[in-house]
Amino acid sequence: MIDQVKNNETSEEDLQEINDKKINQSDPKLDETEVNVEESKLSKKSNKESKRQPITNSKNKKKDDELVELLPSIIDLRVGKIIDVQKHPEADLLYVEKIDFGEEEPRTVVSGLVRYVPIEQMKDRTLIGVCNLKPVNMRGIKSFAMVLAASSKDGKDGMGSVELVEPPIGSEPGNRVYFEGFESGKPIDQLNPKKKQFESIQPNLTSLETRECCWIDVKNGSKVHRLMTDLGPCKTQSLIGASLS
């Protein structure tokens, strides 16, 4: 019994040697498991961060898009010339015009100007058109643009004065019309009626005491941006402080 105890006794040096072997010969499977756990944690953390980032970018993009929608440079304005005008066959207050906007074919445009502009004054008239509105049916005839007109405060429904906005003398069909300060801006392909893009800009379209037409940036100190072509400003015939639409 004593001999057995002696044989079972282990010196401190032997214990240290055994411990060293255990440390050096640790189970590789356990090490691999620990590594996999850490990698899994890091992967989950990385995925969470990557998911958060697109959301932030999406919000920023939405804000940028909203700001762009409020700028007048999104409107496609061009010089046009009426090459034919007739009364609408189904509506006494509407004209049906064929307008050359410098494209391969003239556009059909329906305008509610019968009460304000005699048909003789519409013929061969040079004007400005809004060319990226969504086409709309007007009493059975689809209109592919809008003639830009100036109206006094009691105009149109109130039977006040309405005049066509006129480009500078010498303007040709297709000439670009833009707002001063936004020369480099590019109009979008088509204004979205559901977002009311044109409607958000239109209330600040007016004419100055010089009869020059402009957009007033009310969010930036009421800064004036005149409606221009490369030949000069676009004007009303006589109306001051008019609403443009």
- Long-range pairs for 29-32 at CB < 8 Å and ≥24 separation? none
Task: Please say if the pLDDT value at position 39 is more than 70.
Answer: no
Other CB atoms within a 10 A radius of the CB of residue 106 amount to 19
Q: What does R_g of the chain's alpha carbons equal in angstroms?
A: 37
Task: Please say if the pLDDT value at position 41 is more than 60.
Answer: no
Please check whether residues 187 and 105 belong to one and the same domain: yes
Please check whether residues 111 and 29 belong to one and the same domain: no
Q: How many domains does the chain have?
A: 2
Q: What is the DSSP letter of 186?
A: -
Closest by CA to 110, choosing from 83, 149, 132, 136, is 136
| Tokens describing residue 170 | 């010498």
Please check whether residues 154 and 61 belong to one and the same domain: no
Q: What is the pLDDT of residues 74-89, one digit of tens each?
A: 999 999 999 999 999 9
* Element containing residue 23 per DSSP (H, E): helix 12-24
Give the Å distances, CA to CA, from 48 to 36, 41, 51, 56: 18, 11, 5, 13
Q: What is the pLDDT of residues 148-201, one digit of tens each?
A: 999 997 655 556 899 999 999 999 999 999 999 999 999 999 999 999 999 999
Please check whether residues 166 and 93 belong to one and the same domain: yes
Please check whether residues 116 and 204 belong to one and the same domain: yes
Please check whether residues 46 and 159 belong to one and the same domain: no
Q: What is the pLDDT of residues 197-217, one digit of tens each?
A: 999 999 999 999 999 999 999
Query: Considering the entire predicted model, what is its pTM?
Result: 0.73
In a domain, 6, yes or no: no
Q: What is the DSSP letter of 212?
A: B
Length of the chain: 245
Closest by CA to 165, choosing from 117, 198, 119, is 117
Phi and psi (nearest 5°) for 102?
Answer: 80, 20
Quick check: 165 and 130 in contact, CB under 8 A?
no
Please check whether residues 36 and 82 belong to one and the same domain: no
Angle at 29 between CA 28 and CA 34, to 5 degrees: 95
Task: Please say if the pLDDT value at position 42 is more than 90.
Answer: no
Q: Which amino acid is at 185?
A: G
Q: What is the pLDDT of residues 110-163, one digit of tens each?
A: 999 999 999 999 999 999 999 999 999 999 999 999 999 999 976 555 568 999
Question: Buried b / exposed e across 171-204, counting CB within 10 Å, b at 16+?
Answer: bebebebbbebbeeeebeeebeeeeebbeebbeb
Residue 153: predicted pLDDT: 73
d(CA 200, CA 75): 12
Task: Please say if the pLDDT value at position 31 is more than 80.
Answer: no
Instruction: Name which of 1-10, 36-45, 59-68, 172-181 the model is least confident about.
Output: 1-10
Give the Å distances, CA to CA, from 193 to 75, 139, 149, 197: 13, 19, 20, 7
Please check whether residues 176 and 91 belong to one and the same domain: yes
Please check whether residues 132 and 155 belong to one and the same domain: yes
Q: Find the domain containing 152 and state its range.
A: 75-244
